[in-house]
Amino acid sequence: MDDERWMGEALAEAEKAFRRDEVPIGAVVVKDDRVIARGYNKVEARGRATAHAEILAIDAASRVLHDWRLDGCTVYVTVEPCHMCMGAFYLSRVGRVVFGAMQPRSGACGSIDNFHEAELFNHRIEVTGGVRKMESLSLLQRFFEGVRSG
Alpha helix ranges (H) inside the chain: 2-19, 43-46, 53-65, 83-92, 133-149
- Among 43, 135, 29, 27, smallest CA distance to 74 is for 29
126-128 and 34-40 as β-strands: parallel, antiparallel, unpaired?
Answer: unpaired
Using alpha carbons only, give the angle 146, 107, 109 rounded to the nearest 5 degrees: 140
Q: What is the rounded CA–CA span in Å between residue 98 and residue 131? A: 7
Q: Is the alpha carbon torsion for 62, 86, 50, 76 positive or negative? A: negative
Of the candidates 13, 22, 54, 80, the residue annotated as catalytic is 54
For residue 22, indicate whether it is catalytic. Answer: no
- φ/ψ (deg, to 5) at 17: -60, -45
Catalytic residues: 54
